Chain A
Amino acid sequence: MFWKIFQTENLLLCADAVPNVLNFFDTTVAPPLLFYSYIPILLITVFFATLVLFKDKFSFLSKLLFLVAFSFAMWILNVLIQWTAVHASVVYFAWQLTALFEISVYLFSFYFVYHFTYRAPMQNFLKASLLVLALPVIVLLPTVFNMEAFDLVYCEAFLGRLWDYIYAMESIIIFLILYLGFKGYKIAKARGDRKSFLLLITGTFFFLLTFFLSNFIGEITRVYEFNLVGPIGAVLFFTLLTYNIVRFKMFKLKILGVQALVVALWILVFGLLFVHTLSLVQTIVIITLTLITVVGYLLIRGFDREVRQREEITLLAHDLQKANARLKELDKQKTEFVSLASHQLRGPITAINGYVGMILAGEYGEVINQDAKDALKKVQIAGKDLGVLVGDYLDVTRIELGRMSYTFTDVSLAQIAREVFDQMLPVTEHANLALSKDISEEEIIVHADANKIKQVMLNLVDNAVKYTPNGSIVIGVKKVGSKVQFSVTDTGTGMSQKVLESIFEKFVRAPGAQRINSSGTGLGLFVARKIITEHKGRIWAESAGEGKGSTFLFEIEVLA
């Protein structure tokens, strides 16, 4: 049965129709302006909607716009077939399909505006209502309710009763869009896109209104040339959308205005090739000029704004650069000040510590009063803490000013570790901790600053003492490949993975560290890392978690 459609001789021809294209179409019947108004609009609509769809990464709003454009394009294509096809059944089929495309344009437009207004999916009840509205059209499409009969002489169909329903539905949707415009105005104002919203509502409203009126009047009068006016509304719709995009960056597009204008101009000029009468040429030139004037003006304004913004950004960047330089200078001054202050503080602290030590040692006679002795011991401890603190600050300022000096010599790391062990043994005993060593017997020689390395080791062991309430500490030195590894393992408070990652940063202390060791500054490990880095080594910490102890390690290259 389907092959019948290819046997065109079986199909009835409309009166006076002479097929001149593909044995299917007669282009002489249609008004020449049809091709000039419909084809460019069809191309622009589809191009525009596809571009928005891809550039806006298939957002829901862009999908809806695409559906509006696609339905409209199908409607235009369908009308072109109605005008140009020569076979009665084909023309009649096209007439029958009109209903489907037409309601799609309205329903999707409404959905589009709804979504733009509320920025949320449509309420289910409303969605179901739209569906119910569309159902009669879909179901009655093949019946006489849609198209009653076909006039072979004029090659036109007679609309059925369904079209009363369709026109009623279309006018309801137009009013609903107007209603959405009033209702959504406040929402858009609160959201800050009032102008963009107004343009979109106006565009959609006039698009659907011109579309509706041209179809309706064309139908009543049966002068179908009225239909040609309809798509002008679409031009307005898409022009306003373009303006929206250029001005308000809708759909995350920026340059779309330029692309749209170029394509539109190309199509308009290309169209001139197919027009032969002077009056038509004039009409086309007027359309083209209007388009250039409107879109061009918008683009130039948009471009001006861009240029101004760029100038402002350049000025801001310049100011920021100046502010940055000033901040750097201030930072340097601050470091210098801390350096100077720390340096000045060191002298008095040394004096305090020295004299307190001498008093306690009985150099100035025996301190008989036990309370006075306890108080002096507290002063001694606080003095030592202060000394360490000032030392840390001084180290940090030296590092930041690049004034940390190193004296590299060939030294035995194991020997330094043993010295550290001996030095820290009384401290651990006092803290009731078991200090042991696992230091390689072999003398492992490294090229390093012995004092600085010792400082790092002391710092690590001192930390272990402070953060181990009870248990043991092990100092280890072993050769690992071409490197020597120093480690301090304790059974102390341990730390989480998160703390492990940041523990060597400046002023970073583990949560709860303040409670355990109130005199800590969070600078010791920062200084240690800087020193080890200067030795081209690596320092890190390991812990199985809070309360599970920790190991601090560093390794540096062994001298070959």
Chain B
Amino acid sequence: MYNKSTADFMSNASIWSTIRFVLIILILVSVSITFVRTVVYQDFEMIEDTP
């Protein structure tokens, strides 16, 4: 799985900056979806009686 070409690919600095960028976007999207679902639409299960 982790052969030389993978190593070459991953040692490329621009690859890491791209990965970082994608990761930040992914986090922002994930948090936004969470916010919209929870706060805006209140789309979550609410329990009145603690089991």
**At the interface, yes or no: A358 with Cβ under 8 Å from chain B?**
no
Which residues of B lie under 8 Å from residue A364 when comparing CB positions? none
Q: How far is the CA of A125 from the CA of B11 in the complex (A)?
A: 9
Which residues of B lie under 8 Å from residue A4 when comparing CB positions? 40
Are A89 and B45 also in contact (CB < 8 A) when A97-B31, A142-B34 are? Answer: no
Which one of A151-159, A259-267, A533-541, A545-553 contacts B? A151-159
**At the interface, yes or no: A105 with Cβ under 8 Å from chain B?**
no
Contact B47 A5 (CB under 8 A): no
Contact A153 B38 (CB under 8 A): no
Within 154-184 of A, Cβ neighbours of B (below 8 Å) are at: 154, 158
Are A151 and B38 also in contact (CB < 8 A) when A131-B23, A138-B27 are? Answer: no
Which residues of A lie under 8 Å from residue B11 when comparing CB positions? 124
When the two chains form the complex, which single residue of A1, A100, A154 contacts B31, counting CB atoms closer than 8 Å? A100
Which residues of A lie under 8 Å from residue B17 when comparing CB positions? none
Report A332-355 CB contacts with B as 1/0, cut-off 8 Å.
000000000000000000000000
Which residues of A lie under 8 Å from residue B2 when comparing CB positions? 125
Main secondary structure of the interface of A (DSSP, over half): helix
Which residues of A lie under 8 Å from residue B36 when comparing CB positions? 1
**At the interface, yes or no: A43 with Cβ under 8 Å from chain B?**
no
When the two chains form the complex, which single residue of A100, A125, A141 contacts B10, counting CB atoms closer than 8 Å? A125
A128 to chain B, nearest CB (A): 6
When the two chains form the complex, which single residue of B16, B31, B40, B47 contacts A141, counting CB atoms closer than 8 Å? B31
Are A138 and B26 also in contact (CB < 8 A) when A93-B38, A124-B10 are? Answer: yes
Which residues of A lie under 8 Å from residue B23 when comparing CB positions? 131, 138
**At the interface, yes or no: A431 with Cβ under 8 Å from chain B?**
no
By the criterion of a CB under 8 Å from any partner CB, how many residues of chain A are at the interface? 33
Contact A141 B50 (CB under 8 A): no
Contact A96 B34 (CB under 8 A): yes
When the two chains form the complex, which single residue of B7, B37, B39 contacts A5, counting CB atoms closer than 8 Å? B39
**At the interface, yes or no: A92 with Cβ under 8 Å from chain B?**
yes
A227 to chain B, nearest CB (A): 19
Contact A149 B46 (CB under 8 A): yes
Main secondary structure of the interface of B (DSSP, over half): helix
Max chain B Cβ within 10 angstroms of own Cβ: one of A12, A96, A124: A124
Q: How far is the CA of A92 from the CA of B50 in the complex (A)?
A: 16
Are A149 and B7 also in contact (CB < 8 A) when A90-B39, A142-B30 are? Answer: no
Contact A124 B39 (CB under 8 A): no
Within 21-37 of B, Cβ neighbours of A (below 8 Å) are at: 23, 26-27, 30-31, 33-37
Contact A153 B48 (CB under 8 A): yes
Which residues of A lie under 8 Å from residue B35 when comparing CB positions? 93
Contact B31 A89 (CB under 8 A): no
B47 to chain A, nearest CB (A): 5
Which residues of A lie under 8 Å from residue B5 when comparing CB positions? none
Which residues of A lie under 8 Å from residue B38 when comparing CB positions? 89, 92-93, 96, 142
Q: How far is the CA of A127 from the CA of B23 in the complex (A)?
A: 13
Are A151 and B31 also in contact (CB < 8 A) when A1-B36, A2-B40, A12-B42 are? Answer: no
Q: How far is the CA of A141 from the CA of B33 in the complex (A)?
A: 9
Contact A93 B39 (CB under 8 A): yes
Report A119-146 CB contacts with B as 1/0, cut-off 8 Å.
0000011011001000000110110100
Give A2's nearest chain B residue, CB to CB: B40
Contact B47 A151 (CB under 8 A): yes
Contact B30 A89 (CB under 8 A): no
Are A11 and B30 also in contact (CB < 8 A) when A150-B47, A151-B47, A153-B49 are? Answer: no
Which residues of B lie under 8 Å from residue A12 when comparing CB positions? 42, 46
**At the interface, yes or no: A88 with Cβ under 8 Å from chain B?**
yes
Within 86-115 of A, Cβ neighbours of B (below 8 Å) are at: 88-90, 92-93, 96-97, 100
Contact A141 B30 (CB under 8 A): yes
Contact A138 B30 (CB under 8 A): yes
When the two chains form the complex, which single residue of A1, A2, A128, A153 contacts B50, counting CB atoms closer than 8 Å? A153
Task: Provide a sorted-by-A list of 19 A–B residue pairs whose CB atoms are within 8 angstroms.
Answer: A1-B40, A2-B40, A11-B42, A12-B46, A89-B38, A90-B39, A93-B34, A125-B7, A141-B30, A142-B34, A142-B37, A147-B44, A149-B44, A150-B44, A150-B45, A150-B46, A153-B47, A153-B50, A154-B50
A-B residue pairs, 4 tightest by C-beta: A149-B45, A124-B10, A142-B34, A142-B33
